[in-house]
Amino acid sequence: MEIPACDLKRQHLELAPELERAVAGVMASGRFVLGENVCRLEEELASYVGTKYAVGVANGTEGLILALEACGVGPGDEVITTAFSFFATAGAITRLGAKPVFVDVDPLDFNLAPQEIQARITPASKAIVPVHLYGKAAPMERILPIARRYGLKVVEDAAQALGATAGGTRLGSLGDAGVVSFYPTKNLGACGDGGMVFTSDPEIAGKVRFLRAHGSLKPHRHQVVGYNSRLDEIQAALLRVKLPRLARWTTRRQDIARLYQGHLKRAGLGLPRVGDGDHVFNRYTVTSPDRDELKAFLECQGIATEIYYPLGLHQQEALAYLGYRRGDFPMTERATGEVLSLPMFPELTDHEVARVSEAVLTFTRRRLTSHGGPAGRSLV
Ligand SMILES: *Cc1c(COP(=O)(O)O)cnc(C)c1O
Protein backbone atom coordinates (compact mmCIF):
# COMPACT_ATOMS: atom_id res chain seq x y z
CA MET A 1 0.00 0.00 0.00
CA GLU A 2 1.27 3.47 -0.82
CA ILE A 3 -0.50 4.93 2.20
CA PRO A 4 -0.74 2.42 5.06
CA ALA A 5 -3.44 2.60 7.73
CA CYS A 6 -0.68 2.75 10.34
CA ASP A 7 3.08 2.84 9.63
CA LEU A 8 5.26 2.05 12.64
CA LYS A 9 8.52 2.15 10.68
CA ARG A 10 8.44 5.94 10.35
CA GLN A 11 8.38 6.50 14.09
CA HIS A 12 11.13 3.99 14.60
CA LEU A 13 13.35 5.60 11.98
CA GLU A 14 13.11 8.90 13.83
CA LEU A 15 13.93 7.42 17.25
CA ALA A 16 16.18 4.47 16.30
CA PRO A 17 19.45 5.67 17.87
CA GLU A 18 17.77 6.53 21.19
CA LEU A 19 15.74 3.32 21.26
CA GLU A 20 18.79 1.22 20.51
CA ARG A 21 20.74 2.93 23.30
CA ALA A 22 17.88 2.23 25.72
CA VAL A 23 17.84 -1.47 24.83
CA ALA A 24 21.63 -1.68 25.09
CA GLY A 25 21.43 -0.13 28.56
CA VAL A 26 19.03 -2.81 29.78
CA MET A 27 21.12 -5.59 28.24
CA ALA A 28 24.24 -4.30 29.96
CA SER A 29 22.43 -3.99 33.31
CA GLY A 30 21.52 -7.67 33.36
CA ARG A 31 18.20 -6.74 34.98
CA PHE A 32 15.30 -7.75 32.73
CA VAL A 33 12.25 -8.07 34.95
CA LEU A 34 10.83 -5.48 37.39
CA GLY A 35 13.87 -3.26 37.52
CA GLU A 36 14.45 0.45 37.47
CA ASN A 37 12.86 1.16 34.08
CA VAL A 38 9.50 -0.38 35.02
CA CYS A 39 9.58 1.41 38.35
CA ARG A 40 10.37 4.79 36.76
CA LEU A 41 7.84 4.34 33.95
CA GLU A 42 5.17 3.57 36.56
CA GLU A 43 6.00 6.82 38.36
CA GLU A 44 6.15 8.86 35.14
CA LEU A 45 2.85 7.52 33.82
CA ALA A 46 1.03 7.75 37.16
CA SER A 47 1.96 11.42 37.25
CA TYR A 48 0.96 11.86 33.58
CA VAL A 49 -2.45 10.21 34.03
CA GLY A 50 -2.98 11.71 37.48
CA THR A 51 -3.30 8.65 39.72
CA LYS A 52 -1.40 7.76 42.86
CA TYR A 53 -0.34 4.39 41.48
CA ALA A 54 0.47 2.70 38.19
CA VAL A 55 1.38 -0.95 37.84
CA GLY A 56 3.10 -2.28 34.70
CA VAL A 57 1.69 -5.55 33.36
CA ALA A 58 2.32 -7.86 30.41
CA ASN A 59 -0.41 -6.45 28.15
CA GLY A 60 -3.68 -4.53 28.21
CA THR A 61 -5.85 -7.65 28.28
CA GLU A 62 -4.18 -8.95 31.43
CA GLY A 63 -4.31 -5.43 32.83
CA LEU A 64 -8.10 -5.65 32.55
CA ILE A 65 -8.14 -9.12 34.14
CA LEU A 66 -5.95 -8.05 37.07
CA ALA A 67 -7.79 -4.75 37.60
CA LEU A 68 -11.19 -6.49 37.59
CA GLU A 69 -9.97 -9.21 39.94
CA ALA A 70 -8.48 -6.57 42.26
CA CYS A 71 -11.89 -4.84 42.24
CA GLY A 72 -13.44 -8.07 43.51
CA VAL A 73 -14.91 -9.42 40.26
CA GLY A 74 -15.07 -13.20 40.22
CA PRO A 75 -17.11 -16.23 39.15
CA GLY A 76 -20.84 -15.56 38.82
CA ASP A 77 -20.52 -11.76 38.85
CA GLU A 78 -21.94 -9.68 36.03
CA VAL A 79 -19.92 -6.92 34.39
CA ILE A 80 -21.67 -4.35 32.21
CA THR A 81 -19.80 -3.23 29.12
CA THR A 82 -20.24 -2.12 25.52
CA ALA A 83 -21.20 -4.50 22.72
CA PHE A 84 -18.81 -2.64 20.39
CA SER A 85 -15.15 -3.06 21.31
CA PHE A 86 -12.07 -5.14 20.72
CA PHE A 87 -12.63 -8.72 21.88
CA ALA A 88 -10.23 -8.33 24.84
CA THR A 89 -12.78 -6.26 26.78
CA ALA A 90 -15.21 -9.17 26.92
CA GLY A 91 -12.47 -11.80 27.00
CA ALA A 92 -11.01 -10.37 30.21
CA ILE A 93 -14.39 -10.43 31.97
CA THR A 94 -15.04 -14.00 30.83
CA ARG A 95 -11.58 -15.21 31.95
CA LEU A 96 -12.51 -14.38 35.55
CA GLY A 97 -15.59 -16.57 35.34
CA ALA A 98 -17.74 -13.45 35.29
CA LYS A 99 -20.44 -12.75 32.73
CA PRO A 100 -20.20 -9.84 30.28
CA VAL A 101 -23.54 -8.02 30.05
CA PHE A 102 -23.62 -5.88 26.93
CA VAL A 103 -25.09 -2.46 26.34
CA ASP A 104 -25.65 -0.81 22.95
CA VAL A 105 -23.65 2.23 21.81
CA ASP A 106 -24.41 5.86 21.14
CA PRO A 107 -24.30 6.30 17.34
CA LEU A 108 -22.57 9.67 17.77
CA ASP A 109 -19.27 8.31 19.06
CA PHE A 110 -19.75 4.51 19.32
CA ASN A 111 -19.23 4.57 23.08
CA LEU A 112 -21.47 2.77 25.55
CA ALA A 113 -24.84 4.55 25.80
CA PRO A 114 -25.30 5.49 29.49
CA GLN A 115 -29.11 5.52 29.30
CA GLU A 116 -29.00 1.78 28.53
CA ILE A 117 -27.03 0.81 31.65
CA GLN A 118 -29.71 0.98 34.32
CA ALA A 119 -31.96 -1.64 32.70
CA ARG A 120 -29.07 -4.15 32.75
CA ILE A 121 -28.27 -3.85 36.45
CA THR A 122 -29.16 -6.94 38.53
CA PRO A 123 -28.21 -8.10 42.05
CA ALA A 124 -25.26 -9.92 40.40
CA SER A 125 -23.84 -6.75 38.82
CA LYS A 126 -20.39 -5.97 40.14
CA ALA A 127 -18.71 -3.54 37.77
CA ILE A 128 -18.97 -1.41 34.64
CA VAL A 129 -16.21 -1.40 32.01
CA PRO A 130 -16.56 1.67 29.79
CA VAL A 131 -14.33 1.57 26.69
CA HIS A 132 -13.00 4.86 25.35
CA LEU A 133 -13.33 3.67 21.78
CA TYR A 134 -10.97 4.96 19.07
CA GLY A 135 -9.44 7.28 21.72
CA LYS A 136 -12.66 9.20 22.49
CA ALA A 137 -13.83 9.55 26.10
CA ALA A 138 -16.93 7.56 27.05
CA PRO A 139 -19.52 9.69 28.92
CA MET A 140 -17.96 9.21 32.37
CA GLU A 141 -19.97 12.09 33.86
CA ARG A 142 -23.06 9.94 33.38
CA ILE A 143 -21.56 6.51 33.99
CA LEU A 144 -19.88 7.31 37.33
CA PRO A 145 -23.06 8.50 39.13
CA ILE A 146 -24.90 5.32 38.05
CA ALA A 147 -22.02 3.19 39.35
CA ARG A 148 -21.99 5.08 42.63
CA ARG A 149 -25.75 4.76 43.09
CA TYR A 150 -25.63 0.98 42.65
CA GLY A 151 -22.29 0.36 44.35
CA LEU A 152 -20.60 -0.86 41.18
CA LYS A 153 -16.86 -0.62 40.49
CA VAL A 154 -15.71 1.14 37.32
CA VAL A 155 -12.70 -0.14 35.37
CA GLU A 156 -11.95 2.05 32.35
CA ASP A 157 -10.70 0.29 29.24
CA ALA A 158 -8.46 3.16 28.10
CA ALA A 159 -6.35 0.92 25.82
CA GLN A 160 -6.92 3.28 22.87
CA ALA A 161 -7.14 6.52 24.85
CA LEU A 162 -3.92 7.26 26.75
CA GLY A 163 -3.65 11.06 26.99
CA ALA A 164 -7.31 11.86 26.35
CA THR A 165 -9.27 13.85 28.94
CA ALA A 166 -12.85 14.17 30.17
CA GLY A 167 -13.68 17.51 31.76
CA GLY A 168 -9.95 18.25 31.91
CA THR A 169 -9.11 15.01 33.78
CA ARG A 170 -7.07 12.28 32.11
CA LEU A 171 -8.87 9.08 31.19
CA GLY A 172 -7.77 6.12 33.25
CA SER A 173 -7.96 8.18 36.44
CA LEU A 174 -11.75 8.58 36.60
CA GLY A 175 -12.84 5.06 37.54
CA ASP A 176 -11.72 2.82 40.41
CA ALA A 177 -9.05 1.64 37.99
CA GLY A 178 -8.03 2.35 34.40
CA VAL A 179 -6.10 0.17 31.98
CA VAL A 180 -3.97 1.07 28.98
CA SER A 181 -2.22 -1.08 26.40
CA PHE A 182 1.20 -0.51 24.85
CA TYR A 183 0.45 -2.73 21.86
CA PRO A 184 2.55 -1.25 19.01
CA THR A 185 -0.38 0.48 17.25
CA LYS A 186 -1.69 2.20 20.39
CA ASN A 187 -0.87 5.88 20.94
CA LEU A 188 2.11 4.98 23.14
CA GLY A 189 3.31 1.77 21.55
CA ALA A 190 6.00 -0.62 22.74
CA CYS A 191 8.10 -2.86 20.48
CA GLY A 192 6.04 -5.82 21.62
CA ASP A 193 3.33 -6.22 24.25
CA GLY A 194 2.81 -4.23 27.43
CA GLY A 195 0.13 -2.64 29.56
CA MET A 196 -0.47 -0.63 32.71
CA VAL A 197 -3.11 -0.43 35.42
CA PHE A 198 -3.86 2.97 36.98
CA THR A 199 -5.58 3.59 40.30
CA SER A 200 -5.50 5.90 43.29
CA ASP A 201 -6.83 3.18 45.59
CA PRO A 202 -3.91 1.66 47.56
CA GLU A 203 -5.79 -1.59 48.04
CA ILE A 204 -6.43 -2.08 44.31
CA ALA A 205 -2.83 -1.10 43.46
CA GLY A 206 -1.50 -3.54 46.05
CA LYS A 207 -3.67 -6.38 44.77
CA VAL A 208 -2.65 -5.81 41.13
CA ARG A 209 1.04 -5.80 42.17
CA PHE A 210 0.52 -8.97 44.11
CA LEU A 211 -1.46 -10.69 41.33
CA ARG A 212 1.05 -9.86 38.59
CA ALA A 213 3.75 -11.82 40.45
CA HIS A 214 2.05 -15.13 41.35
CA GLY A 215 0.24 -13.74 44.38
CA SER A 216 3.46 -13.47 46.26
CA LEU A 217 4.94 -10.71 48.41
CA LYS A 218 7.80 -12.74 49.86
CA PRO A 219 9.87 -15.10 47.69
CA HIS A 220 8.34 -18.59 47.57
CA ARG A 221 5.37 -17.67 49.78
CA HIS A 222 2.10 -17.57 47.82
CA GLN A 223 -1.07 -16.46 49.55
CA VAL A 224 -3.26 -16.68 46.44
CA VAL A 225 -2.90 -18.07 42.92
CA GLY A 226 -1.98 -15.08 40.82
CA TYR A 227 -0.52 -14.63 37.35
CA ASN A 228 2.81 -14.05 35.72
CA SER A 229 1.98 -10.74 34.07
CA ARG A 230 4.80 -8.23 34.24
CA LEU A 231 5.94 -5.48 31.94
CA ASP A 232 9.55 -6.23 31.05
CA GLU A 233 12.50 -3.88 31.40
CA ILE A 234 13.27 -3.60 27.69
CA GLN A 235 9.72 -2.52 26.85
CA ALA A 236 9.69 -0.10 29.78
CA ALA A 237 13.00 1.44 28.67
CA LEU A 238 11.67 1.86 25.11
CA LEU A 239 8.43 3.40 26.39
CA ARG A 240 10.39 5.87 28.52
CA VAL A 241 12.13 7.11 25.36
CA LYS A 242 8.74 7.59 23.69
CA LEU A 243 6.72 9.06 26.56
CA PRO A 244 8.16 12.62 26.30
CA ARG A 245 6.94 12.66 22.65
CA LEU A 246 3.40 11.52 23.43
CA ALA A 247 2.01 15.06 23.80
CA ARG A 248 3.40 16.09 20.41
CA TRP A 249 2.10 12.91 18.75
CA THR A 250 -1.33 13.44 20.28
CA THR A 251 -1.49 17.03 18.98
CA ARG A 252 -0.48 15.79 15.55
CA ARG A 253 -3.23 13.13 15.59
CA GLN A 254 -5.75 15.84 16.49
CA ASP A 255 -4.39 18.11 13.72
CA ILE A 256 -4.75 15.28 11.19
CA ALA A 257 -8.35 14.74 12.35
CA ARG A 258 -9.00 18.46 11.80
CA LEU A 259 -7.49 18.24 8.30
CA TYR A 260 -9.69 15.25 7.44
CA GLN A 261 -12.68 17.12 8.81
CA GLY A 262 -11.94 20.14 6.60
CA HIS A 263 -11.51 18.02 3.48
CA LEU A 264 -14.43 15.65 4.10
CA LYS A 265 -17.13 17.83 5.62
CA ARG A 266 -19.17 17.78 2.41
CA ALA A 267 -18.48 14.14 1.54
CA GLY A 268 -21.78 12.99 3.05
CA LEU A 269 -20.02 10.60 5.45
CA GLY A 270 -20.43 10.33 9.20
CA LEU A 271 -17.35 12.01 10.67
CA PRO A 272 -16.01 12.01 14.23
CA ARG A 273 -16.35 15.30 16.08
CA VAL A 274 -13.03 17.06 16.56
CA GLY A 275 -13.38 18.68 19.94
CA ASP A 276 -11.07 19.50 22.79
CA GLY A 277 -8.86 16.94 24.44
CA ASP A 278 -11.54 14.30 24.77
CA HIS A 279 -10.42 12.47 21.62
CA VAL A 280 -6.85 11.37 20.91
CA PHE A 281 -7.67 9.63 17.61
CA ASN A 282 -6.05 6.26 17.96
CA ARG A 283 -8.37 5.71 14.98
CA TYR A 284 -10.05 8.21 12.69
CA THR A 285 -13.28 6.37 11.95
CA VAL A 286 -15.90 7.52 9.46
CA THR A 287 -19.18 5.85 8.54
CA SER A 288 -20.76 5.14 5.19
CA PRO A 289 -23.60 2.84 4.15
CA ASP A 290 -21.36 2.01 1.16
CA ARG A 291 -18.46 1.16 3.45
CA ASP A 292 -17.31 -2.03 1.71
CA GLU A 293 -17.31 -0.36 -1.74
CA LEU A 294 -15.47 2.66 -0.32
CA LYS A 295 -12.85 0.41 1.27
CA ALA A 296 -12.33 -1.50 -1.99
CA PHE A 297 -12.13 1.76 -3.98
CA LEU A 298 -9.47 3.19 -1.63
CA GLU A 299 -7.51 -0.05 -1.80
CA CYS A 300 -7.36 0.30 -5.60
CA GLN A 301 -5.94 3.79 -5.07
CA GLY A 302 -3.17 2.37 -2.85
CA ILE A 303 -4.80 3.51 0.39
CA ALA A 304 -5.18 1.03 3.26
CA THR A 305 -8.10 1.27 5.69
CA GLU A 306 -9.31 -0.94 8.54
CA ILE A 307 -12.64 -2.07 9.94
CA TYR A 308 -12.81 -1.81 13.73
CA TYR A 309 -14.94 -3.88 14.29
CA PRO A 310 -16.82 -6.02 11.78
CA LEU A 311 -18.83 -7.83 14.49
CA GLY A 312 -20.45 -6.88 17.77
CA LEU A 313 -19.11 -8.73 20.81
CA HIS A 314 -22.53 -10.36 21.18
CA GLN A 315 -22.07 -11.84 17.70
CA GLN A 316 -18.73 -13.49 18.47
CA GLU A 317 -18.74 -17.27 18.27
CA ALA A 318 -16.76 -17.57 21.53
CA LEU A 319 -19.55 -15.75 23.37
CA ALA A 320 -22.49 -17.54 21.74
CA TYR A 321 -23.22 -19.23 25.09
CA LEU A 322 -24.40 -15.87 26.42
CA GLY A 323 -27.47 -16.29 24.24
CA TYR A 324 -27.59 -12.93 22.50
CA ARG A 325 -29.17 -12.67 19.07
CA ARG A 326 -28.78 -10.63 15.96
CA GLY A 327 -30.87 -7.49 16.44
CA ASP A 328 -30.20 -7.20 20.19
CA PHE A 329 -27.97 -4.13 19.74
CA PRO A 330 -29.14 -2.28 16.62
CA MET A 331 -26.69 0.66 16.87
CA THR A 332 -23.74 -1.68 17.33
CA GLU A 333 -24.83 -3.85 14.42
CA ARG A 334 -25.31 -0.82 12.19
CA ALA A 335 -21.87 0.45 13.15
CA THR A 336 -20.26 -2.91 12.29
CA GLY A 337 -21.55 -2.49 8.73
CA GLU A 338 -20.66 1.19 8.31
CA VAL A 339 -17.42 2.03 10.16
CA LEU A 340 -14.16 2.55 8.30
CA SER A 341 -10.93 3.76 9.88
CA LEU A 342 -8.85 5.94 7.53
CA PRO A 343 -5.03 6.12 7.76
CA MET A 344 -4.08 7.73 11.09
CA PHE A 345 -0.65 7.93 12.73
CA PRO A 346 1.38 10.98 13.79
CA GLU A 347 3.91 10.67 10.95
CA LEU A 348 1.19 10.80 8.24
CA THR A 349 1.90 13.91 6.14
CA ASP A 350 -0.57 16.68 5.25
CA HIS A 351 -0.08 15.68 1.64
CA GLU A 352 -1.09 12.09 2.38
CA VAL A 353 -4.17 13.25 4.29
CA ALA A 354 -5.13 15.33 1.24
CA ARG A 355 -4.58 12.34 -1.07
CA VAL A 356 -6.73 10.05 1.07
CA SER A 357 -9.43 12.73 1.25
CA GLU A 358 -9.40 13.33 -2.51
CA ALA A 359 -9.83 9.62 -3.13
CA VAL A 360 -12.76 9.50 -0.66
CA LEU A 361 -14.35 12.50 -2.37
CA THR A 362 -13.90 10.95 -5.82
CA PHE A 363 -15.78 7.90 -4.56
CA THR A 364 -18.60 9.84 -2.94
CA ARG A 365 -19.05 12.12 -5.99
CA ARG A 366 -19.32 9.10 -8.28
CA ARG A 367 -21.91 7.60 -5.96
CA LEU A 368 -23.82 10.85 -6.03
CA THR A 369 -24.07 10.77 -9.82
CA SER A 370 -24.82 7.06 -10.09
CA HIS A 371 -27.37 6.96 -7.25
CA GLY A 372 -28.87 10.39 -7.74
CA GLY A 373 -28.72 10.87 -3.98
CA PRO A 374 -26.19 11.51 -1.29
CA ALA A 375 -23.47 8.87 -1.22
CA GLY A 376 -23.63 8.44 2.48
CA ARG A 377 -25.33 9.88 5.45
CA SER A 378 -24.24 10.40 8.93
CA LEU A 379 -25.09 7.56 11.25
CA VAL A 380 -27.14 10.00 13.31
C1 LIG B 1 -5.77 -3.14 22.45
C2 LIG B 1 -6.98 -3.23 23.26
C3 LIG B 1 -7.06 -4.06 24.39
C4 LIG B 1 -6.03 -5.10 24.74
O5 LIG B 1 -4.72 -4.68 24.84
P6 LIG B 1 -3.54 -5.71 24.56
O7 LIG B 1 -2.34 -4.98 25.08
O8 LIG B 1 -3.49 -5.94 23.10
O9 LIG B 1 -3.80 -6.95 25.33
C10 LIG B 1 -8.19 -4.02 25.17
N11 LIG B 1 -9.22 -3.21 24.86
C12 LIG B 1 -9.20 -2.43 23.78
C13 LIG B 1 -10.37 -1.53 23.51
C14 LIG B 1 -8.09 -2.41 22.93
O15 LIG B 1 -8.09 -1.63 21.85
* Grouped pLDDT means (10 residues each) for the chain, 380 residues: 94 96 97 96 98 98 98 98 98 98 96 97 98 98 98 98 96 98 98 98 97 91 94 98 98 98 96 92 98 98 98 97 96 98 98 98 88 50
How far is ligand 1, taken at its centre, from the CA of residue 240, in Å? 20
- Other C-beta atoms closer than 10 Å to the C-beta of 378 total 15
Give the pTM.
0.96
Residue 218: the pLDDT is 85
195 in contact with ligand 1, CB cutoff 6 A:
yes
Task: Give 305 Cα–ligand 1 centroid separation in angstroms.
Answer: 19
Neighbours of 131 (CB within 10 A): 24
Q: List the one residue out of 79, 88, 125, 136 whose CA is nearest residue 271.
A: 136
With contact defined as beta carbons under 8 Å apart, do 190 and 110 qualify? Answer: no
157 lines ligand 1 (CB under 6 A): yes
Q: Ligand 1, residue 181: give the atom nearest the CA.
A: 7
* DSSP-derived secondary structure letter, 203: H
Say how many Å lie between the CA of residue 5 and the centre of ligand 1.
Answer: 18
pLDDT of residue 380: 40
* Res 376: pLDDT: 46
Distance from the alpha carbon of residue 155 to the mean position of ligand 1, in angstroms = 14
The predicted structure's pLDDT at residue 378:
47
Q: Which stretches does DSSP call E strand in 194-330?
A: 195-199, 216-218, 221-222, 284-287
pLDDT of residue 367: 82
**Closest C-alpha to ligand 1, atom 5:** 60
Return all residues near 127 (Cβ < 8 A) that are at least 6 apart. Answer: 68, 71, 73, 77, 79, 80, 152, 153, 154, 155
Tell me if 61 CB under 6 Å of ligand 1.
yes
Give the per-residue pLDDT at 45: 98
Residue nearest to atom 14 of ligand 1 (CA): 159
- Tell me which long-range contacts 270-273 makes (C-beta under 8 A, separation of at least 24): 270/338, 270/376, 270/377, 270/378, 270/379, 270/380, 271/378, 272/109, 272/134, 272/136, 273/108, 273/109
